[in-house]
Structure 1
Amino acid sequence: MGSLLQILLGLFISVIGALYLLGSFRRRRAGEPPLDKGPIPWLGHVLEFRKDTAKFLQRMKEKHGDIFTVQLGGFYFTFITDPHSFGSVVKEARTKLDFTKFAEQLVARVFGYHSLQNEHKFLQASSTKHLMGDGLVVMTQAMMCNLQNLMLHNVGSGDDKLWQETGLFAYSYNIVFRAGYLALFGNESLKSTGTLEKAKEIDRQHSNELFWEFRKYDQLFPNLAYSVLGPSEKMEAERLKRLFWNTLSVQKMRSRDNISGWVHEQQQVRAEQGMQEFMQDRYMFLLLWASQGNTGPAAFWLLLYLMKHPEAMKSIKSEVEQVLRETGQGAKQGGPLIDLTRDMLLKTPILDSAVEETLRLTAAPVLTRAVMQDMTIKMANGQEYKIREGDRVAIFPYTAVQVDPEVYPDPFIFKYDRFLTPDGSKKTDFYKGGKKLKYYNMPWGAGTTMCPGRFFATNELKQFVFLMLSYFDLELKNPNEEIPGIDIRRWGFGSMQPTKDIQFRYRLRF
């Protein structure tokens, strides 16, 4: 899960080529970063950037060094690729480097939502209240209850002990999306069903139908963002947006139980500010997309890595079982369901390391700022570069640090304990050029745009994996099948998705 603005900042840099096709050329002034102008013209830059962002930026770095400027559409983007210099961007005051104005413009263009003044402040305050600290205790409980309803509702039916075979990506994304949606946007009301079991059954059916509609939108999203949908795809995208606006409408939300304080407060603030209900409905879809579009894919990668690395699976299973023993719990036939609390999730350093390693390998956000006034960027080596008002500054941590072999030996190999010290505590000491890095892994962004929902998102991911390992045996259908590649069309959108699904089997352990 990423905050709305953080995800949209990443989205912004991935779509500028389509949204801004006109722009003026300018000459490089003394003291500015190298400006790449050829042999590829600016339109060629757009096409190459869109085709494979990581490959394009790596080529620019090899050509120009740690700082360079490229024209993408109608804007000049200065990329900083030295992680020791990231602080010059993420710590800078918003009066010089801002992230809100163009994000708000993009929201209006792509989603039809017109932001409030101080949108980011409202979102940040509400997220801090409800998705961190004591609020996170409540959200963890809601997520657990909904996960158990979706994953364990057929326990005792007789079929639950048979191997079930399905796609790992489809299964992981489906369960995590649906549980997160129900935890945030509430459950079917007991008043309309009469019994809790009937309400749970409707939740399962409704959330499953909604997930597959969400997947249709999700698959259209790269081309929707690039504004290159065909006529039939445009119609489908409009249909899906209207379906979600209706499903998540303020009117329908009034009839649901257990709506999270986070969602309720977002709606309440907008109502108090005089926002019309149809615009509030659009914002609810934005919240769903921003909150549930990344955790499911991350869950897929984590489970896949664990099944491909038996030592990692064994270590994390042992840790899970130890946490259960300490709380006097266990997955037993006829026994009570596991009560998985936030405090229990704080006692899983090995799982934490595996999660961080998964995100290092598969999360690829882009941090972007608008230059509000002529200013100077100071690099860690002491060199200074002038940047102009109206330009953009950007960081792509994936290639700049997350897969840098100097920082992470064998960077494309999953090492579940990479973020653990020898004594089992969290490792935070990573180096480049002999100097310790402050920004060594940035799946959630950094600075003022760091995702305020990161703790809830991490808990969603850990709860799903914790329960899967507690209740089920699982294995890949073909253990020798290679890990699929990542879909490069989705660079900048957060958690990457695989180019294809991979089949796995699971069954109840008892």
Structure 2
Amino acid sequence: MSLWETVLCTFLACLLATLLGGLHQIGAFRKRKPKEPPLDKGFLPWLGHGLSFMRTTEEFLERMRKKHGDILLGGNYMRFLVDPSTYEPLMKVFKQVLGYNKFTSMVARNVFGLHCTESKLHSFKKISDKYLGGKYLPVLNQEMMEKLKSVMLLSQDSGEGKRSWRQEGVLHFTYKTVFQASFLTLFGNEPHKDVDSKENAKENEMTQRGNLSENFEKFDHFFPHMVTGIIDPLNKKETERLKKYFWDILSVEKLYQRDGISNWITELNQQLTEKMRTQFQLLLLWVSQTNIVHATSWILLYLLKYPEVLKAVREEVERVIIIIIIIIIIIIIYIAPVLRETAQEVVAGGPFINVSLDMIKTPLLDSATEETLRLKGSGFIFRTVMQEMDIKMADGKEYTLRKGDDLVLSPFLALQTDPEIHPDPHTFKYDRFVTPDGIKKEFYKNGNKLKYYSMPFGGGTGLCPGRFFAVYEMKMFVFLMLAYFDMELVNAEEEMPTIDIRRHGFGTVKPSHDVQFKHRLRV
């Protein structure tokens, strides 16, 4: 055999080995073992059902559910589980058996260019649990409330015509308001050396934050494409431009010139090298913004669309305001003199007059918030099978999960839109989660009380550490809007927008389009 024939044979052998290895890796030769769930590779070679899954996720999973039941295996070793009876026991499984960091690491790498080790991710979660829950949370909540008030009222502070009606899109208004307030709460504000410079810079800073929120909205639009890596060259170029824009603003050099950076951000940064910090700031910005902005847009849309809901929640807010006023009067009349006699100082924001929603019961607002998250929180829960394990279904069947497979839970399909758990599941019912007596409702499936009946923030060891802060943001936004503004839809007959289907599975879905409303300061 000649030299060139030898080289050619070697090349073809290597090519064949690579091709066969690739086909094996994507599951082309995978066979279903005894006790394993149904295996559906799809019609298209290699891709399986990938295109259908990405294009119409919810419809695809419903179709597969009717075909195979509550558990199936897709072509890329992904098991989709939509049996609600299995969710509670799975949330108790140790991370050594069901790991949760694989998907997190993939998002950090594909979207933000970060390569995080298991130990780093564990450290980040521990710090986040510390500052976004427990004794540190009220401080963050109070700061967020002040920033929300400031941003809301600053946009109205134009002197002439303060009480005139202003028109804009619900999504646009919510995006800019929540984004700016949250950004200031977490990343601080630019310092002003004197009063004159502060006044002169106020308008410029508001414009800059407006540009920041608009660019973030563009960046967030591309998020599903960046996660999957399926993005055309033109859009990829735009995402790179947006990343550089945010990396510049969030650079270590610029960030630490700002005043009022949250302790959460500061301590997280101490875990990173200087090189990683700027990229990590963008990740923190994204996780603190995207889902809560979309969820807050939806609850405002529901309130505007259904006048009876707006009326009921506004009346509750007004009752709470009266209670807060009475508490403050009691403090001023009875508690302040006693403190002065004992040489203690009473200051605004101090422990005795820091009155917030944490201290007041708002059952209708709580229920409306939870109902919004139930309807629009479509995020998947991703787990990796670290050890072979068995799982028992509601119908008594048992299946074996193979080590190395990915397990994907869909609480939206399995729990949040199950008609037995939530009757008329696709209808917004603001009082769904509360009894007429103001007591939180319980939910059942097959006669059994459920611990998990809605999981917009995940569950188990992978439960979102920012869930309390996120819910407080939503409630405080609604509370302040109803306290400060009259508001109504420009076209009361306009239908509620559908969802942007590309976001299904990636947290809270966003409205497919904006809806115009008008608002003005209340007397």
TM-score (normalizing by structure 1): 0.88
Who is 1:417 aligned against? 431
What's the secondary structure of 1:31's corresponding residue? coil
Who is 1:36 aligned against? 40
Who is 1:211 aligned against? 213
Most deviating of 193-202 and 414-423: 193-202
What's the secondary structure of 1:86's corresponding residue? helix
Q: 1:222 Cα deviation (Å)?
A: 2.6
Following the alignment from structure 1 to structure 2, what is the Cα–Cα distance between the partners of residues 341 and 296?
A: 25
Following the alignment from structure 1 to structure 2, what is the Cα–Cα distance between the partners of residues 143 and 497?
A: 23
Equivalent positions of 1:301-320 (< 5 A) are 301-320=298-317
Who is 1:142 aligned against? 143
Q: Is the 8 A contact 1:182 1:207 kept in 2?
A: no
Following the alignment from structure 2 to structure 1, what is the Cα–Cα distance between the partners of residues 201 and 135?
A: 27
Following the alignment from structure 1 to structure 2, what is the Cα–Cα distance between the partners of residues 412 and 127?
A: 33
Following the alignment from structure 2 to structure 1, what is the Cα–Cα distance between the partners of residues 141 and 103?
A: 34
Q: Is the 8 A contact 1:368 1:395 kept in 2?
A: yes
Q: Does 1:446 align with 2:450?
A: no
Instruction: Structure 1 unaligned segments of length 5 or more: list them.
Output: 1-19, 331-336
Most deviating of 83-92 and 466-475: 83-92
Q: Does 1:327 align with 2:324?
A: yes
Who is 1:17 aligned against? none
1:223 aligned to which of 222, 225, 242: 225
Who is 1:362 aligned against? 376
Instruction: Structure 2 unaligned segments of length 5 or more: list them.
Output: 1-23, 328-347
Bigger relative contact order, structure 1 or 2 (CA pairs below 8 A, ≥6 apart): 1
Equivalent positions of 1:30-429 (< 5 A) are 30-38=34-42, 43-71=47-75, 75-153=76-154, 154-155=156-157, 157-191=159-193, 196-198=198-200, 200-270=202-272, 275=273, 277-328=274-325, 341-344=355-358, 346-427=360-441, 429=442
Q: Is the 8 A contact 2:304 2:488 kept in 1?
A: yes
1:469 aligned to which of 457, 482, 493: 482
Following the alignment from structure 1 to structure 2, what is the Cα–Cα distance between the partners of residues 495 and 367?
A: 13
Following the alignment from structure 1 to structure 2, what is the Cα–Cα distance between the partners of residues 501 and 411?
A: 24
Following the alignment from structure 1 to structure 2, what is the Cα–Cα distance between the partners of residues 475 and 348?
A: 22
* Closer/same/farther in 2, CA of residues 447 and 312 from structure 1, 3 Å limit: same
TM-score (normalizing by structure 2): 0.86
Following the alignment from structure 2 to structure 1, what is the Cα–Cα distance between the partners of residues 46 and 70?
A: 20
Q: 1:434 Cα deviation (Å)?
A: 2.2
Q: Which amino acid aligns with 2:369?
A: V
Who is 1:16 aligned against? none
Following the alignment from structure 1 to structure 2, what is the Cα–Cα distance between the partners of residues 253 and 157?
A: 33
Q: 1:455 Cα deviation (Å)?
A: 0.7
Q: 1:392 Cα deviation (Å)?
A: 1.0
- State the Cα RMSD in Å: 2.3
Following the alignment from structure 2 to structure 1, what is the Cα–Cα distance between the partners of residues 116 and 261?
A: 23
Q: Is the 8 A contact 1:172 1:299 kept in 2?
A: yes
* Closer/same/farther in 2, CA of residues 120 and 227 from structure 1, 3 Å limit: closer
What's the CA shift string for 1:5-41, capped at 9, x where partnerless?
xxxxxxxxxxxxxxx9944331111111111245566
Q: Which amino acid aligns with 1:494?
A: G
* Closer/same/farther in 2, CA of residues 488 and 329 from structure 1, 3 Å limit: farther
Q: 1:123 Cα deviation (Å)?
A: 2.2
Equivalent positions of 1:424-439 (< 5 A) are 424-427=438-441, 429-439=442-452
Following the alignment from structure 2 to structure 1, what is the Cα–Cα distance between the partners of residues 368 and 126?
A: 30
Q: 1:473 Cα deviation (Å)?
A: 0.4
Most deviating of 377-386 and 197-206: 197-206
Q: Which runs of 4+ in 1 moved over 6 A?
A: 337-340
Following the alignment from structure 2 to structure 1, what is the Cα–Cα distance between the partners of residues 74 and 40?
A: 5
What's the secondary structure of 2:487's corresponding residue? strand
Larger radius of gyration: 2
> Percent of counterpart pairs with the same letter?
46
What's the CA shift string for 1:160-192, capped at 9, x where partnerless?
211100111111111111111110011111338
Q: Which amino acid aligns with 1:52?
A: T
* Closer/same/farther in 2, CA of residues 25 and 342 from structure 1, 3 Å limit: farther
What's the secondary structure of 1:161's corresponding residue? coil
Q: Is the 8 A contact 2:103 2:382 kept in 1?
A: no
Following the alignment from structure 2 to structure 1, what is the Cα–Cα distance between the partners of residues 129 and 201?
A: 30
